[in-house]
A and B are shown apart, each in its own frame.
Chain A
């Protein structure tokens, strides 16, 4: 089946640092979504992208829909302790209108 490659798998960062993570696919996607999940909670939608090249911000978060429609990245600027969690990318392939394909997640950990 289709897969998304999400990297890095985990990140150890200092508070205040910028963070970048990305997802790539071997096929074209119509939609890219970025979610954050805290322990014991459901995923929360951060940013939704619908057009190739689209760049969208949500506070300190910025995400882009790659021009080839096969990738997306998420940047977090000036990280703070509450940014800790797991970030998932999810995409909608061209041949589907309901089933999201998920990345494996990026675990963000802030160094004490």
Chain B
């Protein structure tokens, strides 16, 4: 039973062509995260939503945007992908009644290639 689902698993996009990655969850968690991970490095947090509140990391480029239309879905939009944006993009969720639970559960990731 997949709990955090990312689509697609592999995405090829052209340099400068907008691309959207999607994430859905069946855990009903109130926090959803987007991470970028490059070649065996640790995941790097781009931003997260706590319910509908969007929290951007200070060093996340403006090229990266996110939408969360409801509890279950969250999207990562890359407005003008550059070659340096090729990476694995990971969606994760965490939940809790009194605040974000720290156990983050990850999807399988989307491998983005920019050509």
Count of residues in B whose CB is under 8 Å from the partner chain: 26
B100 touches A42 (CB 8 A): no
- Which residues of chain A have C-beta atoms less than 8 A from B102's C-beta? 30-31, 33, 48, 92, 97-98, 100
- Which residues of chain B have C-beta atoms less than 8 A from A41's C-beta? 108-109
**Which one, B11-19, B37-45, B60-68, is touching chain A?**
B37-45
Q: Is B34 an interface residue (CB 8 A)?
A: no
A48 to chain B, nearest CB (A): 5
Q: Total A-B pairs in contact (CB under 8 Å)?
A: 58
CA A50 to CA B35, docked complex, whole Å: 23
A97 touches B99 (CB 8 A): yes
B contact set with A: CB distance below 8 Å: 4, 6, 31, 40-43, 45, 48, 50, 55, 88, 90, 92, 94, 99-100, 102-109, 111
A contact set with B: CB distance below 8 Å: 30-31, 33, 35, 40-45, 48, 86, 88, 90, 92, 97-100, 102-105, 107
Sample (24) of A-B pairs whose CB atoms are under 8 Å apart: A31-B102, A33-B103, A33-B104, A35-B106, A40-B109, A42-B92, A42-B108, A43-B43, A45-B103, A45-B104, A45-B105, A88-B43, A90-B104, A98-B31, A98-B48, A98-B50, A98-B55, A98-B94, A98-B102, A102-B42, A103-B42, A104-B41, A105-B41, A107-B40
